Structure 1
Amino acid sequence: MTQTEPLTRRPPLRDPADRYVGKPVDRVDGPAKTTGAALYSAEYPYPDITHAALVHATVTRGRITGIETDQAAAVPGVIAVLTHLNAPALKPAPKQSPMNLSSLVSGTSVDYLNTDEVHWNGQPVAVVVAETLAAARQAAALVEVAYEEFPATVDFAAEEPKATPQKSDLLQSGEGKKGDAEAALAAAPVSLDLRYTTPPHHHNAIEPHATTAVWDGDRLTVHEGSQSIAWAREHLALRFGVPAANVRVIAPYVGGGFGGKSSLWPGTIVTVMAARATGRPVRMMLTREGVYRTVGGRTPSAQRVALGARPDGKLTSLIHTSVTMTGRVGGGPEQVTSQSRHLYDAENILVRQSLVQMDMVSNATMRAPGEAIGTFALEAAVDELAYGLGMDPIELRMRNEPDRNPIDGKRFAHRMLREAYALGAEKFGWSGRTPEPGSMRDGRWLVGMGVASAYHPAWLFWANIKVRLFADGTVLVRCGFQEMGMGGATAHAQIAADALGVPLGAVRVEYGDSELPTAPPAGGSGQTASVAASLLAAADKLKRSLLALAKRSPGSPLRGLRPRDLQARDGGLHPVAGTGESYAAILTRAGRDHADAAIGSESRAGQVAGQLKFMAQFLRDRRRFVRAAAGAQFCEVRVDPDTGEVRVTRWVGVFDVGRVINAKMVASQLRGGIVMGIGMALSEATLVDPRTGRIMNPSLSEYHVPVHADIPAIDVHWLDDPDPTMPLGLVGVGEVGITGVAAAVANAVHHATGRRVRDLPITLDKLL
């Protein structure tokens, strides 16, 4: 969607040294969001709009034997009550495969309202459509469902011993090893072998999932807070048996996602189904409880970390294994041991991931899936080893900092973890820490300091893009990427302005619409880099076409020059020779008012080619080097010795994230990840009844996320050193901020109290 108004006059001249990349530019969508002009998915006005409410299954696994809807249908304003007995037919969800990336958008494999089978407690078994939201919700409460219940698997702790090894695929490996880590552990002079657990988590975006669906014949428009609008379009077209060209998904503003809006969950599919069945526009806004019942969250985990070392701290063995959950009807593995393949130069390494299938709503990606919980176990264990060796935790890490990837010897594309720790220790005042647990106080409070490493792999996908340069020097960038608050439109306006030599205000960015050129999902911290790569290529292509155009124009001072002889400045092209030729002059002389450049194709063949190009590049890069963002997290806590209350009082994070595109937005992203990590460490847990599989705390009154009073001032820094293998040298920042946070808190709590808490969250009862 358009985010700035087009200029009506030529922009002012601009000095070529005045670059926008790296500056703390205000968000171009800031005014729309702060004034209420921005429309979210549940706010689009349509004539005769109706409202929908779900009826959720109250058993974990079984079959519907009877469903009574007469009372619901009698509520004034009710238009339809859809169940498996009268709902329109769906096409089955495709089998998930890395060779068909759009298949990964399926939240579950269930044919919603097309089956009498129940697969988890909370699965939608009916939907009510009414003239008002109040009527829809009142009627939904009156639907009565009878079930035949089947045995179900819902207790993660009970199922953990039955876990099976995770299979490797093109995107993830279930196991990695170097040497004989178990034998080295047994022979190590100093060793530890520990168990860590983390509970399920839910995303709790400020905008709960909501969908507005409108059918016009066999054409469908969906307003959906989505992190993957292109894949959502493909999925909806398949499920409802229409061409993808007939489906439009619009999502210019998404009120937070964190991975929870990467997939299409039941609410979206059922809303589109209800709109088709009633012939009316339908809107469904999930309640907060409805999100918990129908949208997957982070899997629980049980992890083993075993470390063996010589007395000087050199690691001889590193073992990290995990057990996580997938739903029986969907979900996927988390890369819990990912960072343990790369962070420490142990002589022998074993990482292995195992899975259990459960009768729960499918698990979903959640900010830094795998590394967020994996760094907790690994980094807490490294801290324990440091105490066992009588060594400073930073010194132990630096003694085991690798020059190349530990398991396979690949080079690092970019790695400045030593520099991050050095700067962080200086900013935090680490040298003022006394090492003995319980040795630091502030009045009655016990004071503790902890550190941990942050780590998240860097991804690069493919993106299609179109760039149009007008004769007046204004630029239009069109790309269907997603904006969840991270500032993508602003970042790409900055990149385009620098690439084409125009003022920032001359760039207009359109995004968040499946009718725009296809972009990758907002996930894996890879969207900005992926779109930037195509944007830079389009800008270069555009300048080449302008040069070719000028060469064909009699009298042009650019005749005979090459693209490398040109530099962008002042909204025009000024060759080194100093001719003063501008965009306007080139286009006017050629009788044109604009020039276009496109990267990628929207044809079916073009989409397949783009996906194949991504897979080829992904596999080629994986063979050549390891690419990641990293950092050092420093935490100070105060603990009340009588009550066990923990307060995080200071935080410093220093990150190696390549070149920074927008200093203000990067600081916001890193702080946001740290805040989410503090919640994971101290309060967040989705509580599941081990008898019924029902989530017991499906609301923000019982699922405790941090509030402003829980968070201190967070001091973040970055090294701003470009990664030479990435476009502009940038590396994603959206997820690295949460990694290492829980471990830094746990390590600080141990330093304050002498107590080790290996089971998150760190609640009062675990410290008393």
Structure 2
Amino acid sequence: MTTATTGTPTTRGSVGTPHTRVEGRDKVTGAARYAGEIPFAGLAHGWLVLSTVARGRVRAIETAPVLAMPGVLTVLHHENAPRVDSDFVGMLGSRPDPSLALFQNDRVPHLGWPVALVVAETPEQAREAAEALVVHYEQEPHDVAFFAGHPDAYPVEGHTPGVAEKGDLTAELAASAVVVDAEYTTPEEHHNPMEPHAAAARWDGGRLEVVDSNQGTTWVAGELAKLFSLDPDSVRVRSEHIGGGFGSKGVRAHQVGAVMAATVLQRPVRVVMTRRQMFTLAGYRSPTTQRLRLGADADGRLRALEHSCLNLTSTVHEFVEPGAAPARVMYDADAHHTANRVVRLDVPTPTWMRAPGEAPGSFALEAALDELAEKCGIDPIELRVRNEPERGPLSGLPFSSRNLLACFREGARRFGWPDRDPRPGLRRDGRWLLGTGTAAASFPSGAGPSTAALTAEPDGTFTVRIAASDIGTGARTALTLIAADALDVAPERVRVRIGDSDFGPAMIAGGSMGTRSWAWAVQIAVGELRERLALGSSVPPEGITVRSDTSAAIGALARKERHSFGAQFAEVAVDVTTGEVRVRRMLGVFAAGRVVNPLTARSQFVGGMIWGISMALHEEAVRDGATGGHVGADLAGYHVATHADVPLIEADWIDDPDPDDPVGIKGVGEIGIVGAAAAIANAVWHATGVRHRNLPIRPDRVLSAADGATHA
């Protein structure tokens, strides 16, 4: 036996200093294996067949010719697939999307609905057979038309109330000296992570094992256990390395199909989505139409604030994109009305996408604030200063911390904002009109229950086991630094193992809550281990292991409004001849809790801001009303910002530790995109004198507004 030693926790250590990713070498050398490339003996390959009609029924499937093709093992469809149970409430507090209940009936609710799974010895054989499968449909009329004022829209309760209001809106608008009444739209957007969705399933000694790319192994294991009516202990999900997710990598059709096929064939089966299938099966950000009505006194102080957001959802599952949520936190008014509404259409179900609600909602809200500042003749930052609330505008709760104005002060100083001439359309650089804009950012800061196991090894090292997911954020490295500091040892003495549901329940990587939730569990585990070691326990060959659970500890978080905040600044150049908009520079200053690893945190902020460029100028999935499907459902037809579109981007932060978090973390994964599109749109107005309320700000939209009229 040996003795593991830890010293008294130090105030200075690894947390807060830059560290490269602990798995970085494995990733750049190819040693890190992703879900779609891990080998299994006897592996078969499944290929999903998707409907070619937007609404109707499957009348017949001609399986015989396909079953006779080389290598084909089976064709699963609604007449022969295993039965599943989708009548349950899952980990996230809602019933699962019925699209997970593969092949349970003949209904087709949207184009691209899974109607069959062809399984063969090789992926090439599976694909050839899937493309040869003939499916006959009974087609019905479909409706995919999304527009403002849709008569079938209704408010919906999501993770936030559908409607939240106080005060007499009509009276306060009538009493206002200045009123902004405008409609803003954002398009359908898609996640498109670099790594496609992939899962392999096999039965091993009576246990179902799934090797997957997901944002929460606990989540996926629990949903699969319920779907297939299995003992939760008999399901193991592993997801060690993930090549991006952004909200899309939850429980999807490919995992369910792989489990079905592995059960039928009693051999491992892998199912990988194609890029085109991901546009249908992996979720997306719903388009929104948003109406803002702001009423203010002549000095810019708000009397009335109305923010109504409409998004679409499928006919089989209700999903809300809560675009009105930012208004409930950012600004107060005597009359404050917000509503999130949905309309059911014959489309796939949307899902969470980086900063759900806040990303599209902040565009409309922060653009409307800029319009109000112009009408009042007040600097946009000063307008926000005058409307800074002391407590949550609707909740009435105190803020755990709210350093938004500090972000604006620092950002304005660094960006050169005080030298800005507020009049639009005056600055030129050759053929380019130049303008600058700003916007505020916020995102909730929460935590979910998590467990962690910590082992003191006999060689003096420590092993952390936690079902965390590192979807590219650097969470594995951050947890290493947090554990090292808590143990008062060098990071090299700590090994963090993640991505395995056998490690116990843990929060998903989502909502900017992952690292915070997992760090809390690690901190508690370290405290318990230190107590054991302080009692003089020697370390046996198998080590000393303690397990933590944060379920009781995080309850106090609900007593305050907890958000990260930030200030976005952008400078753009607009070519009025071609309509081209170029972002020249961006600066984001954030108050997002204690920063664990500046290297990866800055990457998160900058990555979000780059996505804001995409959102403002490029991204737009176009749906064909005749077919119900997408035009250009691939990375050639779906435009995102590339190297040539990304200028000088700087991201920094101010000291802002959460006083109620054991590490001080708030979360940095999503706030970088919030407000970025609004800052760019506001800069385009400053350059041209024309408001663009529809995203993206395409060249044709700039040209159509070249006469100086507001583009609506």
Q: TM-score range by the shorter chain?
A: over 0.9
CA distance in 2, matches of 1:459, 1:17: 25
CA gap of 1:334–1:30, structure 2 versus 1, over 3 A, is: same
- Contact 2:5–2:533 under 8 Å retained in 1: no
Q: Is 1:151 paired with 2:141?
A: yes
Q: Is 1:61 paired with 2:55?
A: yes
Q: How does 1:211-290 map to 2 (within 5 A)?
A: 211-216=199-204, 218-261=206-249, 263-290=250-277
Q: How does 1:729-744 map to 2 (within 5 A)?
A: 729-744=664-679
- Contact 2:309–2:322 under 8 Å retained in 1: no
The one-letter code matched in structure 1 to 2:639 is: H
Partner of 1:90: 83
Partner of 1:557: none
| Structure 2 runs not aligned, ≥5 long | 704-712
CA distance in 2, matches of 1:394, 1:754: 19
Q: Is 1:318 paired with 2:305?
A: yes
Partner of 1:498: 485
Deviation at 1:289, TM superposition (A): 0.3
Q: Is 1:74 paired with 2:76?
A: no
Aligned residues: 702
Q: How does 1:136-175 map to 2 (within 5 A)?
A: 136-157=126-147, 160-167=150-157, 171-175=159-163
Deviates more, 1:155-164 or 1:666-675: 155-164
Deviates more, 1:229-238 or 1:399-408: 399-408
Partner of 1:404: 391
- Give 1:712's match in structure 2, choosing from 642, 647, 651: 647
Please give the secondary structure, in 2, of the residue aligned with 1:744. Answer: helix
The one-letter code matched in structure 2 to 1:423 is: E
CA gap of 1:597–1:15, structure 2 versus 1, over 3 A, is: closer
Deviates more, 1:128-137 or 1:210-219: 210-219
- Give 1:383's match in structure 2, choosing from 349, 370, 382: 370
Please give the secondary structure, in 1, of the residue aligned with 2:36. Answer: coil
TM-score by length of 1: 0.88
CA distance in 1, matches of 2:689, 2:102: 51
Q: How does 1:521-532 map to 2 (within 5 A)?
A: 521-532=508-519
Please give the secondary structure, in 2, of the residue aligned with 1:324. Answer: strand
Q: How does 1:366-765 map to 2 (within 5 A)?
A: 366-547=353-534, 549-550=535-536, 587=538, 594-600=543-549, 613=552, 621-622=557-558, 624-765=559-700
- Give 1:292's match in structure 2, choosing from 233, 255, 279: 279
Q: State the Cα deviation string for residues 280-336 of structure 1 (Å, max 9, x = none).
A: 211122110011121211111111111111111111111101111222222421221
- Contact 1:11–1:472 under 8 Å retained in 2: no
Deviation at 1:16, TM superposition (A): 4.0
CA distance in 1, matches of 2:108, 2:664: 49
CA distance in 2, matches of 1:105, 1:115: 18
**Aligned-residue identity in percent:** 43
Q: Which has the larger radius of gyration?
A: 1
The one-letter code matched in structure 1 to 2:589 is: V
- Give 1:38's match in structure 2, choosing from 32, 40, 58: 32
CA distance in 2, matches of 1:105, 1:28: 37
Deviation at 1:15, TM superposition (A): 10
CA distance in 1, matches of 2:113, 2:578: 40
The one-letter code matched in structure 1 to 2:508 is: P
Please give the secondary structure, in 2, of the residue aligned with 1:297. Answer: coil
Please give the root-mean-square deviation of Cα atoms over the aligned residues, in Å. Answer: 2.1
| Structure 1 runs not aligned, ≥5 long | 1-7, 551-585, 601-609
Q: How does 1:284-363 map to 2 (within 5 A)?
A: 284-363=271-350
CA gap of 1:542–1:625, structure 2 versus 1, over 3 A, is: same
- Contact 1:208–1:285 under 8 Å retained in 2: yes
Q: State the Cα deviation string for residues 525-570 of structure 1 (Å, max 9, x = none).
A: 00111111111111111122223x23xxxxxxxxxxxxxxxxxxxx
Please give the secondary structure, in 2, of the residue aligned with 1:336. Answer: coil
Deviation at 1:186, TM superposition (A): 2.1
Please give the secondary structure, in 1, of the residue aligned with 2:17. Answer: coil
- Contact 1:53–1:127 under 8 Å retained in 2: yes
Please give the secondary structure, in 1, of the residue aligned with 2:16. Answer: coil
Q: State the Cα deviation string for residues 65-85 of structure 1 (Å, max 9, x = none).
A: 111123322321222222222
Partner of 2:43: 49
CA distance in 1, matches of 2:591, 2:38: 41
Q: State the Cα deviation string for residues 190-237 of structure 1 (Å, max 9, x = none).
A: 101110111111100000111111123642111110102111101111
Q: State the Cα deviation string for residues 653-688 of structure 1 (Å, max 9, x = none).
A: 000001110100110011111111211111111111
Please give the secondary structure, in 1, of the residue aligned with 2:247. Answer: coil
Q: State the Cα deviation string for residues 691-735 of structure 1 (Å, max 9, x = none).
A: 332122210000111111111121011012211122311111101
- Contact 1:468–1:475 under 8 Å retained in 2: yes
Q: Is 1:189 paired with 2:177?
A: yes
Q: Is 1:132 paired with 2:122?
A: yes
